[in-house]
Structure 1
């Protein structure tokens, strides 16, 4: 990784690239990641207490189901200390732990909770203020889209310094105000984290200092093409999330994926590298700050898939899809701010995309969800053609501000001989259906490219970067990208000009 700093990015980005971190000294993991700025947690998780704390109930690994039985027998607020060894939950499919409010589960060094490939879930039901620390949790057989820890998305859980690995489904689900810190989330069948709570909005989520690696071992996108159900972490309807200081790497699919009606995200100081898909996808969502991350070697598998089938779509490393800043929805910003990041030798850069055919009540929106500004029933003819429904019934890629980032691309490293791996883009498709849609034709292409305040400026480029705007019909040179009518990347520098 280059050590060169550029003066305009601000102090926090400089500290990141210099190997500094905002994590307090007493919270540092045992080892650091390869950039010196994020924790290498896996195989170095902070150990738990070697003896049972005063007042704690000791759980015996030699007694099958002892953790379940003692949880049931003790009152809310009890602390349980799992002694060294492998703990099991009987051979029943539904052998599980059902915490009570305020329970704490602490693992001694060497304490493993093993689902034996039989139990579906480890910790279930919606108790609140549950704490789980210093455990290895593995071998559970959660179904597709379900999770092993906090299966029912209880609120105010604290999940710290655990190794959650080799499970089917997701390593964990998430509830409101959940704190996920210092964990190794490794090689789970679908996700490391599935931040989803059925019928609810998750507020105040913190994902900090974790190593999230090798997830989606079951390759769900191959099993269910187009499912959009893979990667390191998936966020659904999360309002307020801090995702900082994580090492997100080598996941099959995207690294971090916010999908449908997320809002108020802060994604900062992460090292995101070598994920098969995009480093970050922010889709059908609102108001986010993506800053001071190191992002490298991502999207090689999925980018090559697009190129291999001759698809000109600019598959991106940061993919902003039908997402934008919205001042009417409260957040720390009213924009999508992407700044102070280093993107180094990924497959392409940032794509800002809006699907003209995807809106509330459209066949291209099969989930049935609507925006945060409208109700599905309002988004039908004739009312959808009039304000405010014309604007509020679609997720808009708007108020995107891409600035003071450094984009480095060496085609010999990426192993790409054409411009398919070198693109920045802001574009939409030509609207075609349904026939009553007010967004047919080029109205969304015009809006996303010229009318919705999407701006690149004051970035630094190194390499043969190319650009795409409006649609996929052609590739723009740097000069055309900066000139009328696009007028992008004012104040930016280009170390290597494009050929020709």
Structure 2
């Protein structure tokens, strides 16, 4: 194949944060090992004509995913009630029925351990940009189910749903968190997020700040359906994309993200940062995000497989605008993905990162194999790695094997 360098004028015009130098692509065949021709692509065949999976009827196969809510069961919280006053009258482990209607400026609670909150159809918690969060505090094993949470003024790096980071065991099922001032949800340790919509928030859909053991997944266990969380149309209204924004950003901890639809965010789609580790990102549909689709930055030990990644990085490419990019990260495997129409395909980058915490953040043990990469625009790069600090990437364990590259789209 022919290597191409991204447009120099666009790279020069990109604004980078202080301490980060502009990088220019320096791709050589020595850094990319064994790109396969299409007729040699056999270990993990991908049907390029097939359409990506779309949501279909929910078939719950795992009892843990089923709703714990029963119609008309539980202590009622009406639209005119002060929700915390209702909670204060009942012991831990109470089930509450959040009644239909708009709960305006009166729902800001700290649950007790074991509490369950079930929303009737049409139950909307509206903070009117006056309340910081709908749910917060350190209670364990709280369940939220089928409630809309909107217009909360959570403040910088806050969320409309924001338990304490060590508040373990929360299950957030079929929640809609929209139009909040920073994030719709900030996860806590061991949180399970099933289905739902985290859309049109000022900065980000879901965040994970130094939390671990997070699962985002579908309402069923079938990877052929996209019924996991929708992370879409989130903006960058209060901070630049280089700081925080997009569908989901997490750091330090371990996550599993599958069956999610991550699309049309003003920043990155899925973004691991600062010592994230042991991530499994699979069976997601990631499309139309303004910067990278999946970005694994100064982190380690990740598996990114069997995702559909389309048309990312085209509106405002952040540095490289890759469909999938590992940035100064180690022990990352990227396999079985289908990419089409991204500014760049699957890429790796190396920078000096003096602001990062140990261990050293090196692009190393980066293995890219058995992917289908289609319709990379002129000036883009289907596969490759680059460094802006003169690192000898040829001496690192970086391999690209059995990938297929084609000019036609494969969405």
TM-score where L is the length of structure 2: 0.80
- Structure with greater strand percent: 2
Question: Alpha-carbon deviations, 1:166-195, whole Å to 9, x = none?
Answer: 111110111111001111111011111011
Deviation at 1:48, TM superposition (A): 9.5
* Aligned residue number for residue 396 of structure 1: 362
The correspondence for 1:211, drawn from 211, 227, 230, is 230
Separation in 2 of the partners of 1:110 and 1:247?
23
What is the CA RMSD across the aligned residues, in angstroms?
3.0
For residues 260-299 of structure 1, the aligned pairs below 5 Å read 260-299=274-313
How has the CA–CA distance of structure 1 residues 16 and 265 changed in structure 2, closer, same or farther, with 3 Å as cutoff? farther
Deviation at 1:214, TM superposition (A): 0.4
1:115 has 2:102 as partner: no
1:79 has 2:99 as partner: no
* Partner secondary structure for residue 135 of structure 2: coil
1:202 has 2:146 as partner: no
* Aligned residue number for residue 12 of structure 2: none
* Partner secondary structure for residue 69 of structure 1: helix
* Aligned residue number for residue 340 of structure 1: 336
Give structure 1 stretches of 5+ with no counterpart.
29-45, 307-312, 326-335, 374-393, 412-417, 431-441, 465-500
Deviation at 1:72, TM superposition (A): 1.7
Deviation at 1:104, TM superposition (A): 0.5
Give structure 2 stretches of 5+ with no counterpart.
1-37, 219-227
Separation in 2 of the partners of 1:396 and 1:172?
31
* Aligned residue number for residue 426 of structure 1: 385
The correspondence for 2:147, drawn from 135, 142, 145, is 135
* Aligned residue number for residue 60 of structure 1: 78
How has the CA–CA distance of structure 1 residues 22 and 292 changed in structure 2, closer, same or farther, with 3 Å as cutoff? farther
Separation in 1 of the partners of 2:57 and 2:282?
16
Question: Alpha-carbon deviations, 1:25-57, whole Å to 9, x = none?
Answer: 5239xxxxxxxxxxxxxxxxx99968322xx10
Checking the alignment, whether the CA contact within 8 Å between 1:402 and 1:455 is kept in structure 2 is: yes
Question: Alpha-carbon deviations, 1:273-304, whole Å to 9, x = none?
Answer: 0000100110111111111111101101123x
Deviation at 1:71, TM superposition (A): 1.2
Deviation at 1:424, TM superposition (A): 2.7
For the pair shown, the structure with the greater C-alpha radius of gyration is 1
1:8 has 2:8 as partner: no
The correspondence for 1:235, drawn from 241, 250, 274, is 250
How has the CA–CA distance of structure 1 residues 346 and 230 changed in structure 2, closer, same or farther, with 3 Å as cutoff? same
- Structure with greater helix percent: 1
Separation in 1 of the partners of 2:139 and 2:320?
44
Separation in 2 of the partners of 1:6 and 1:178?
42
* Partner secondary structure for residue 169 of structure 2: coil
